[in-house]
Amino acid sequence: MNKINQDKKSNNYESPLKQKGKKHINVGKISKKNKMILINKKNKVRENIEKN
């Protein structure tokens, strides 16, 4: 318990909720990037099919 209280006093302490929130934001960003990559791949495949 003492360590947690010390962390709260220092400026770099973040509550578990804040940490969870940050993780969720990062996950969202990553999934958006992956979706864009997948969409781009699909579009390229379609273009190749149309060319052939």
CB 31 within 8 A of CB 25: no
**Residue 11 DSSP symbol:** T
pLDDT tens profile 12-51: 666 666 666 566 556 666 677 788 888 888 888 888 888 7
Strands (E), the chain: none
How confident is the model over 2-17, as a mean pLDDT? Answer: 61
Would you say 7 and 13 are in contact if contact means Cβ atoms under 8 Å apart?
yes
pTM over 0.85: no
CA atoms within 13 A on the CB side of 37: 6
The owner of tokens 């052939």 is 52
**If you ran DSSP here, which 8-state letter would residue 10 be given?**
S
